[in-house]
Amino acid sequence: MSADTVRDHLGAFGLSPKEVDAYLAVLRSGAATTGEVSRAADVSQGYVYELAEGLADRGLVTIDETASPTVIRARPPEEALGSFSERLDELQAGIESLYTAPDDDGAAVEVVHSRATVRKRIRRYLADAKREAFLVLPESELAQVEAELVAARDRGVFVYVLAVSPLSSETEPDWAACADVARTWDATPPVTVVVDETTGVLGAHGILAGRHGREYALSFAQREVASGFFGNTVANFWPMGEDRYVTDPDALPATYDHLRTAATNAALHRAAGRELLADVTLADLQSDGERRYERVPVVAVRQNLVGDPTNDFPMENSLVFETPDGRVAAGNAGGGIGPFYEGYGAQSVTLYEG
């Protein structure tokens, strides 16, 4: 980075042009007397003390008045940048406390070039998760979001993780702590995080792995965008993973307002040899009406997220019920793309052992 670029960035942080001149003079030598700074910054020696005090207040330099003449020393970069980072964190917290989201989310996709910002976005989305989180991340990145994953699962969020290259040859993550379903794949697909079918991140693998170069990510907050990225992932990447961990299904009876979570649990129960009954409330997408059935048999589960795939097409996650009106298939209601294939969206499902 050129000195002019550094100068521009320091100015953006509120340093005056003369403060920048003085600071660059100290940076270049590591330590400088007030006279040396005076000549380099072209200011009076008396003004140097004022500039130095301002720089010291910002955590950029220290002033040694025991020396004669007085010496101004540059703080190590990690300490100096740390002071900026703390101010940025305080600023972010202040802005977030004042921020009111706009009513419409039309401009809901943002390009992010910073690795640190991508991590912060993922942590934020996971912290806000209410029902489901789906992640494709380099395995080493799981440590960066483990606390958020653990907390999300404690809130009842169902978490799917596909950990990709670089994979550790020595120690694996604590799958049971951070995921309900975990797979690994020794490949470098795009980083993908989709939370509650609405928010998330899609970016180049290199945005979170290896040496970060020109890679970038898209941060999004729109159902249709999230649905498209989710569909791409479950169709092209998720099936390539090798199972590492699958949680035990929920104890029955269990009630769900999210069909995909119900379908995954139903698949696990059926794999264990259990027959299932269900109370289900369905939205009829053709008539906008509603149907309610009680204790009807679950005769099929169509999905590809756990165990052997049983779906007809990649995005299919549905339950099929034997009802007094015949067999009815229900997909997930409330996502970006409705259950266009099934014709019914499940608003609530309670599963029982039959």
Residues 88-146: tens digit of each pLDDT: 666 666 666 665 555 544 447 888 888 888 999 999 999 999 999 999 999 999 999 99
Which H or E element spans position 295? Answer: strand 290-302
Residue, of 108 and 244, whose pLDDT is higher:
244
Please, are residues 295 and 277 in contact by the beta-carbon 8 Å criterion? yes
Instruction: Identify the pLDDT of residue 273.
Output: 95
Residues 157-169: tens digit of each pLDDT: 999 999 999 998 7
Instruction: Identify the pLDDT of residue 160.
Output: 98
Taking the C-alpha atoms of residue 258 and residue 133, their distance in angstroms, rounded to an integer, is 12
Instruction: Identify the pLDDT of residue 10.
Output: 80
Residues 207-226: tens digit of each pLDDT: 999 876 778 899 999 888 89
Amino acid at 164: V
Amino acid at 267: A
> With 0-12 CB in 10 A as exposed, 13-18 as middle and 19+ as buried, what is 89?
exposed
Residue, of 1 and 105, whose pLDDT is higher:
1
Which H or E element spans position 338? Answer: none
**Tokens of residue 194, six digits:** 């989709």
Residue 346: is its pLDDT beyond 80?
yes
Instruction: Identify the pLDDT of residue 96.
Output: 66
Taking the C-alpha atoms of residue 106 and residue 112, their distance in angstroms, rounded to an integer, is 18
Residue 292: is its pLDDT beyond 70?
yes
Percent of the chain with pLDDT over 70: 91
Residue 172: is its pLDDT beyond 80?
yes
Instruction: Identify the pLDDT of residue 175.
Output: 95
Instruction: Identify the pLDDT of residue 3.
Output: 72
Tokens 């040899």 sit at which residue? 273
Average pLDDT over residues 268-294: 92
User: Taking Cα atoms as reference points, which of 131, 154, 162 lies closest to residue 332?
Assistant: 131
Partners of 281 in the β-ladder: 292, 348
Instruction: Identify the pLDDT of residue 90.
Output: 67
Provide the CA 179 distance to its chain's centre, in angstroms: 14
Other C-beta atoms lying within 10 Å of the C-beta of residue 40 = 17
pTM here is 0.71
Instruction: Identify the pLDDT of residue 105.
Output: 47
Average pLDDT over residues 55-68: 83
Alpha helices in 237-351 (DSSP H): 259-271
Taking the C-alpha atoms of residue 253 and residue 350, their distance in angstroms, rounded to an integer, is 7
Burial of 180-200, coded b for 16+ CB within 10 Å and e otherwise, reads bbbbbbeeebbbbbbbbbbbb
Instruction: Identify the pLDDT of residue 333.
Output: 79
Instruction: Identify the pLDDT of residue 15.
Output: 82
Give the domains, in start order, of the chain with CATH numbers: 3-85 (1.10.10.10), 104-246 (3.30.870.10), 254-353 (2.30.30.690)
- Least confident span in 4-18, 160-174, 299-313, 323-337: 4-18
Tokens 């993973």 sit at which residue? 241
Please, are residues 62 and 73 in contact by the beta-carbon 8 Å criterion? yes
Instruction: Identify the pLDDT of residue 1.
Output: 62
Residue 271: is its pLDDT beyond 90?
yes
User: Taking Cα atoms as reference points, which of 35, 40, 45, 46 lies closest to residue 20?
Assistant: 40
Mean pLDDT, the chain, rounded, equals: 88
Instruction: Identify the pLDDT of residue 336.
Output: 62
Taking the C-alpha atoms of residue 181 and residue 245, their distance in angstroms, rounded to an integer, is 6
Residue 151: is its pLDDT beyond 90?
yes
Alpha helices in the chain (DSSP H): 3-12, 17-29, 34-41, 45-57, 77-98, 115-128, 142-154, 175-178, 223-236, 259-271
Please, are residues 51 and 43 in contact by the beta-carbon 8 Å criterion? yes
**Tokens of residue 215, six digits:** 């890679």
**Tokens of residue 21, six digits:** 């001149």
Instruction: Identify the pLDDT of residue 131.
Output: 95
Q: pLDDT category, 303, cuts 50, 70, 90?
A: very high
Radius of gyration of the chain (CA): 28
